[in-house]
Amino acid sequence: MPPTPRPLRKLGFLTIGLFDEADPRQGHESTLDLITLGERLGYDSAWLRHRHLQYGISSPVAVLAAASQRTSRIHLGTAVTPLGWENPLRLAEDLATVDLLSGGRLEAGFSVGRPTHWEQVKAALYPDTGEHEDFTHTRAERLLALVRGEAASDFVGTEGIEVYSPRVQPHSPGLASRLWYGAGSLRSARWAGRNGLNLLVSSVVRAEESEDFAEIQLSHIRTFRAHHPDGDDARVSQGLVVIPTDSATAEQRARYQAYAAARTPRTRAPQGPSRTVFAPDLVGPSEQIAERLHAHPAHREIDEVAFALPFTFAHEDYVQILTDIATHLAPALGWQPSA
């Protein structure tokens, strides 16, 4: 363990973008308001989760396009886009477009694997090709190549009045350096390092070498950096749920504690056949949370975070949590707000 933790250099937050089916616009507008609040508070990044057939944002890239026009500085990320639901070429086009609209502020995170509830959704998602789709890292390698500007077609030139490019257009040269992989296993961390990506270490991981969450997260960070060309300088962002209560009302504090308590049992042992390990939620005054993070083996080796907002809270709760993180918790971790 390093003698002292790294000072926090970049502060981000992550939200699911919850909405009511009866009024989905309000939920999407709430998410956009949180992103603009994050910019005012000095956050370095805001990240959106990806949810399909649920009551959370299903199209983060579209929402981030809107956010790019309401903000000027904060970076905008996806954490993460499951590539099993995407065509890599089309996604590369959308990502480059939003990156250009934002002035080079997009942080695109993704992962691979079969879509959730595959047997129930494959007829709607891939009615003709489901049995032939490749959901391995090969799918991610297609996205990497296309974002980096490699050829998508062997046809180039003018046909009538239309001009064709061999690579995805528009092309955003800096985007490739801002691609992130969401890893929950050693294999994924190793693959991300070898491919020169940035790493999002998840708050949901697989028990392999240990059953202790912090030790597992640390092993992913070290494995990733051991295989990355940049070594210890390779970018890693840590994902955890933190809920500071410095300015919370008594009712909010009680509700936050009840939320965390209901989720605690799943953190005590690996869950299910895949041996999934969940991070415990950190709830309390910022001073106490900072002490726990300073002692967290994985947190001591990173200088970027994307703290996750709880799924089911109200807008005013998120405002309080984001404000306390920026004004109390993050400064206690060594962070200074962006101008």
The answer to whether residues 188 and 181 touch, using CB atoms and an 8 Å cutoff, is yes
Q: Which CATH number fits domain 10-153+165-332: 3.20.20.30, 3.10.180.10, 3.40.470.10, 4.10.110.10?
A: 3.20.20.30
Residue among 176, 117, 118 nearest 147 (CA): 176
Q: What is the largest CA-CA distance in the chain?
A: 69
pLDDT at 3 over 70: no
Burial code of 232-263, b = ≥16 C-beta within 10 A, e = fewer? eebbbbbbbbbbbbbebeeebeebbeebbeee
Tokens at residue 53, please? 């057939």
207-251 residue pLDDT tens? 998 999 999 999 999 999 999 999 999 999 999 999 999 999 999
Angle among Cα 224, 228, 230 to the nearest 5 degrees reads 125
Q: What is the DSSP secondary structure assignment for residue 16, as one 8-state letter? A: -
Q: What is the pLDDT of residue 338?
A: 75
Tokens at residue 271, please? 């869950």
Instruction: Give 6's pLDDT tier (boundaries 50, 70, 90).
Output: confident
Q: Which amino acid is at 44?
A: D
Q: Within its chain, how far is the Cα of 146 from the centroid? A: 21
**How far apart (Å, rounded) are the C-alpha atoms in residues 188 and 184?**
7
**How far apart (Å, rounded) are the C-alpha atoms in residues 40 and 71?**
9
The answer to whether residues 28 and 65 touch, using CB atoms and an 8 Å cutoff, is no
**How far apart (Å, rounded) are the C-alpha atoms in residues 238 and 5?**
13
Burial code of 305-338, b = ≥16 C-beta within 10 A, e = fewer? bbbbbbeebeeebbbbbbbbbbbbbbbbbebeee
Q: What is the pLDDT of residue 78?
A: 98
Other beta carbons within 10 angstroms of residue 113's beta carbon come to 15
**How far apart (Å, rounded) are the C-alpha atoms in residues 304 and 101?**
24
Q: What is the pLDDT of residue 101?
A: 98
Choose the weakest-confidence range: 72-76, 88-92, 204-208, 315-319. Answer: 204-208
Positions of E strands within 239-281: 242-244, 276-278
